[in-house]
Amino acid sequence: MAIKTHKADYTLILIIAVILVFGLVMLSSASSFLGFEKFNDSNYYLKHQLLNGLSIGLGAFFLLSRIDYHVWKKFALFLMILNVFLLLAIFIPGLGFGYGGARRWIQLGFFTIQPSEILKLVFILYLSTLFAKNIEHIKDPNYGLIPFLVILGASAILIMRQPDMGTLIIIILIALSIYFVAGASWKHLLWLILGSGALFLLLIKIAPYRTARLTVFLNPAIDPQGIGYHINQALLAIGSGGFFGLGLGHSRQKLLYLPEVTGDSIFAIIAEEVGFLFSFVLIALFLALMYKGFQIAKHAPDTFGRLVATGITAWFVLQAFINIAAMVTLVPLTGIPLPFVSYGSTALAVSLAATGILVNISKQTNQ
């Protein structure tokens, strides 16, 4: 059957483009001192983000925006199996490697990939395929809840072997969003939420560093030079920025005071350098992205398109707001990066690929 298409949602593309350009500018500024300190190159992180992240991501965006999104139903299982092998390959000596106590990356020649970032998109495609196929029986545990738990449980085990609790949180939230839109039973959703909460409490209890993060969240003033150092330095950066900021490139906290300035702490540098005004604009852009994404999901021509659009939108928005909320002590620190802004070539490339799929769905929406 011929597929009727129309113009893509250019407003969505514009929103993503503005966030992306703003993110590259802020990454360049936030990483300049760290790049010079570690690699004697102030532009080291920006160069790698452009070469290994943006260039590949833009290619994937343009390609996937032109491929009919229904194709991914055929390849969802294969991609999921392949991703599982990539997650297992992390633990192969000489292939996978770790940093800071976490083992999350695979070295392939000049390229480094992070399979857990790829899993976010593959998981959305696979779960959407499964639920779209069984949409009429979604409230039946044999077609909805049990397959959901098996897939999510297997993914959770592989992710926590790294360990990467931040990614696990995002995966669970994405999964719940797709399951809810598919028409899941409220009783099943309630049990899943309670079960997820119990799981997180267990993971926090068995890892001292996670317990420390929760303790700091409950009392940010505790041990400011020890377990509370990260969040206190972030709050200092945000507070010193004021309404208009100290000026682009003028951050003091990026001078080896604030940890992870290129990763999950980059929003604190944004607030310090360009102030509340542009921080609010960035938040408004993610809200606009949420609106456009869910509009595409609402008007998608079929269940599969609706679930995929929901999953991708929930991924971007939930990850962004958890990252920002952690920097202002609304939630505990999780190590979750800011989409399209934080350093991470795999994360940026996969996010742009997912955007391409979302744009393709927007071409086929019911106008």
Residue pLDDT, tens place only, 332-359: 888 889 999 999 999 999 999 999 999 9
| Separation of alpha carbons 198 and 181, rounded Å | 24
Average pLDDT estimate for 272-280 = 95
Mean pLDDT of the chain: 89
Average pLDDT estimate for 196-202 = 84
* pLDDT-derived band at 299, boundaries 50, 70, 90: very high
Tell me the range of 23-37, 78-92, 221-235 where mean pLDDT is highest.
23-37
* pLDDT-derived band at 3, boundaries 50, 70, 90: low
**Amino acid 276: pLDDT:** 94
Q: Which residue has the higher pLDDT, 60 or 2?
A: 60
CB 352 within 8 A of CB 57: yes
Sheet with 111-113, side-by-side order of all strands: 96-99, 102-108, 111-113
| Separation of alpha carbons 163 and 103, rounded Å | 7
Q: What is the sign, positive or negative, of the torsion defined by CA atoms of 159, 141, 176, 182?
A: positive
**Amino acid 330: pLDDT:** 86
CB 30 within 8 A of CB 20: no
**Amino acid 101: pLDDT:** 63
Q: Cα torsion for 203, 261, 105, 313, to the nearest 10°?
A: 70
Alpha carbon distances (Å) from 69 to 65, 300, 301, 350: 8, 11, 11, 16
Residues 6+ apart with CB under 8 A from 221: 228, 232
Q: Give per-residue pLDDT as tens, 130-152.
A: 999 888 878 887 777 788 888 88
**Amino acid 1: pLDDT:** 46
| Separation of alpha carbons 343 and 43, rounded Å | 12
Q: Which helix (H) or strand (E) holds 105?
A: strand 102-108
**Amino acid 265: pLDDT:** 92
Residues 6+ apart with CB under 8 A from 246: 240, 252, 272, 273, 275
- Note the pTM of the prediction, 2 decimals: 0.93
| Separation of alpha carbons 236 and 230, rounded Å | 10
